Structure 1
Amino acid sequence: MTRDLFAPVVPDKQAHHLFQQVRAGAAHTAARRLMNEVFTDFHDVDKSFVREFQSAGFSARVFELALFAYLREQGLSPDRSHAAPDFVIRGENPVAIEVTTTNPAQGREPDDLEFSPLRPEEIYDADQAFVFQLGKALRRKLTHRDAAGCAYWEKSHIRDVPFVIAVGAFHNQNAQMHVMSSVSEYLYGQRDVLSHDDSGKLTIATHGIEMHESGGKAIPSGLFRLPEAANLAGVLFSNAHTMAMFNRIGTELGYGSEDVALCRIGTAYDPDPNASMPQNFGYVVGDRPPGQQENFAEGLYLFLNPWANQKLSPQALPGIPFVDLLDDGRLMTMSPGGFHPFTSKTLTIEGSRANAYQMARYQQLKYLGQLPNADQE
């Protein structure tokens, strides 16, 4: 029997504004149906998921539900018989996953309803502020102890199981525009500087990072190297597992309204071995052919901790790129192939079927610079 995540269980004054937005209207029909389908098989061990989903925990619970969908999509059967960690995978390549998010300052909410792109001169400061939010979210889980004084990795049901923290970016309106390189720099304490030699071949120089600074404060870089992270086998990062992902995948499944069109634009991995910048992409949701349609693995990146007490096999979380440190000190990113977005934004257009689709196509071509010059103005 399908359980309805959108049947109100909290008073309207306590309901999160994004929950209220998603539960009403045709624009999110696809997301509602797909979320309810996924939740049907989701074991709510502490009976708090729906209440948190409808109130202050909306974004975190959406992220958790999307991770559950990813695990099931990969043929994994997460054990949710204990309240923590959130997911435990048994078998040949076990892993325990605790889910968290970067969050806005106490008492504030990101302006999710209106997106204002960062200006080029704002990007560096925004990335450093993001690193602080990332560090806060990860350390909050690393220092957490339950009523018995146990850390997550000390719980009897996951002893000797590699422990991973999955973190989603939700701290402000630009949170989903931060890319994996900022995460990598903070976790490993090093930055790759890209350049091209005289023949046009890409060269990579590695520079160490001691500290990250933002707002007059500083935190040490290289979290994986620090003693506090000795029991952290890896970090699973996403800036994509949002309500919009459910809406896009649901639309590709045919769950959406005919009078709603979605256009997805963003940046993605460029397979050119000499590329130093990502490539832009844009498509109208529903146009990708079967076999290339979006799945819940898209947008996930796994960072392995080479100094962890319990090493994690990348096969434990299949179908996604992973980052590891080579013996020579270089970082290696291994990809399973296919399409790997770094950042994306979904534009929702409502109207008659033909008009909505036409406008979505216009937005796609405009972003890619493929309109006639007169129409680019």
Structure 2
Amino acid sequence: MMTRSLFDLARKMTPEKASREFRDFSGAHAYAAARRLMDETFAGYPDVDHSFVREFQTAGFSARVFELALYAALREHGKELDRTHPAPDFLVGGDTPVAIEATTTNPPQGETAEDVDIATAVRRRIPDDMEAAEAEFTMQIGKALRRKLEHRDAKGHAYWEKPHVDGIPFVLAVQSFHSPSSLIHTVSSLATYLYGIRDVATRDSHGSLVLNSQVVTEHRHKEKTIPSGLFAQPEAEHLAAVIFTNSATVSKFARMGTERGYGPQDVAIARVGLMYDPDPNASLAVPFGYVVGDYGPEEHETFSEGFHVLHNPWARTPVATGALDGFTEHRLQPNGRLLTTFRQPDYFVSRTWILQGQGGGNPLPAARRRVQQYLAGPAGSR
């Protein structure tokens, strides 16, 4: 059997037709580990309509990376995947089946990433106006989800009406790529939109943290508004859950590939960011930082790390308990609060630094210094 590679140009494809992201990524020495792990993952991926490679090499680069990571995350937990049908993207078999369709938010039509090199494409930028950026994120996520809910095939069937999906919970998986800063947004912003509530933090007379639920009726960005609480709206009654991540990127493949020893010796990777604080009185996330490989195999990153499942309490056909147990799960409780079940470290947002040694030298000391500087700086003083 011929070995497939995502980096062999598709039939009738020329380097000039490939996207800037793909060209930069496929030729970068620093991403050798990511490329090897991607090819290793893709070797078992059933490409039903034979379009994956072409889309990966052109305008669908980020979306296909997301889809590949989602596939790997499901397989990581032993899920049986049926990809004999073009849609939805994944049909999880077994005693607790789930049908999953993947989608992304994308740049406005006519805008491309051609002027952005790969280093910029994977870097987490901080928006100048965080409130406006979050409003845009909600608007874009809402548009992407509604587009899938409204989609009908040539026979007029919605995804959940297809014969092979009948009676199976339907789930949408989404990641945001509509702007260079879109990956900075966390699951909490999406939860507010889906459930129509947000947590408001206060302190009682003893200084203990108190969280109360506040109803949100709409979301506004510039001149546009959309209603909040998608899960409670009639058009979402067939939507059992939404899977979300902000970390299914080339950086994840680079980190995990490096853990496996796939990368060159003159490349080191550091990861820094913010993670969940288990202290019940904590109102801020905790900074973290590490150099990839400075720990044992038992602490290796997983594909499912960073994936969240937000369950729809009003769904006609809900996701069964245990169907997606490898992911962090969120369920709305009768008191209006979200119950979150963690099974692994919950990193809210992170930045990956890739360092290359000068003249083939060892970059690990420099990577460790950068992590120490990050933790000693403003982020570490939270």
**2:292 corresponding residue in structure 1:** 285
Normalization by structure 2: what TM-score?
0.93
| Structure 2 counterparts to residues 307-346 of structure 1, below 5 A | 307-336=314-343, 338-346=344-352
In the TM superposition, what is the alpha-carbon distance from 1:142 to its structure 2 partner? 0.4
> How far apart are the structure 2 equivalents of 1:326 and 1:227?
20
| Structure 2 counterparts to residues 83-162 of structure 1, below 5 A | 83-110=86-113, 111=116, 113-114=119-120, 115=123, 117-118=125-126, 122-162=129-169
Q: 2:365 aligns with which of 336, 358, 363?
A: 358
In the TM superposition, what is the alpha-carbon distance from 1:21 to its structure 2 partner? 1.4
Normalization by structure 1: what TM-score?
0.94
> How far apart are the structure 1 equivalents of 2:45 and 2:207?
50
Secondary structure at 2:82's aligned position in 1? coil
> How far apart are the structure 2 equivalents of 1:132 and 1:363?
36
Q: 1:129-151 CA deviation, whole Å, 9 max, x = no partner?
A: 10011001101100000011100
In the TM superposition, what is the alpha-carbon distance from 1:235 to its structure 2 partner? 0.1
The answer as to whether partners of 1:79 and 1:87 remain within 8 angstroms in 2 is yes
Mapped pair 1:173 → 2:180? yes
Runs of 4+ in 1 over 4 A off after TM superposition: 352-355
Q: What is the letter of the counterpart of residue 5 of structure 2?
A: D
Mapped pair 1:77 → 2:80? yes
**2:26 corresponding residue in structure 1:** 23
Q: What is the letter of the counterpart of residue 215 of structure 1?
A: K
In the TM superposition, what is the alpha-carbon distance from 1:273 to its structure 2 partner? 1.5
In the TM superposition, what is the alpha-carbon distance from 1:25 to its structure 2 partner? 2.8
Q: What is the letter of the counterpart of residue 308 of structure 1?
A: A
Q: What is the letter of the counterpart of residue 302 of structure 1?
A: V
> How far apart are the structure 2 equivalents of 1:166 and 1:141?
10
> How far apart are the structure 2 equivalents of 1:176 and 1:323?
20
Gaps of 5+ in 2: none
> How far apart are the structure 1 equivalents of 2:361 and 2:204?
49
The answer as to whether partners of 1:95 and 1:312 remain within 8 angstroms in 2 is yes
Secondary structure at 2:298's aligned position in 1? coil
| Structure 2 counterparts to residues 227-266 of structure 1, below 5 A | 227-266=234-273
Provide the alpha-carbon RMSD of the alignment: 1.7
Q: What is the letter of the counterpart of residue 283 of structure 1?
A: Y
Q: What is the letter of the counterpart of residue 57 of structure 2?
A: Q
In the TM superposition, what is the alpha-carbon distance from 1:85 to its structure 2 partner? 0.3
Change (3 A) 1:245 1:289: same
In the TM superposition, what is the alpha-carbon distance from 1:117 to its structure 2 partner? 3.3
Q: 1:95-135 CA deviation, whole Å, 9 max, x = no partner?
A: 0000001111111135464347325x611111111001100
> How far apart are the structure 2 equivalents of 1:107 and 1:359?
40
The answer as to whether partners of 2:124 and 2:184 remain within 8 angstroms in 1 is no
> How far apart are the structure 1 equivalents of 2:310 and 2:200?
19
> How far apart are the structure 2 equivalents of 1:17 and 1:317?
35
In the TM superposition, what is the alpha-carbon distance from 1:198 to its structure 2 partner? 2.9
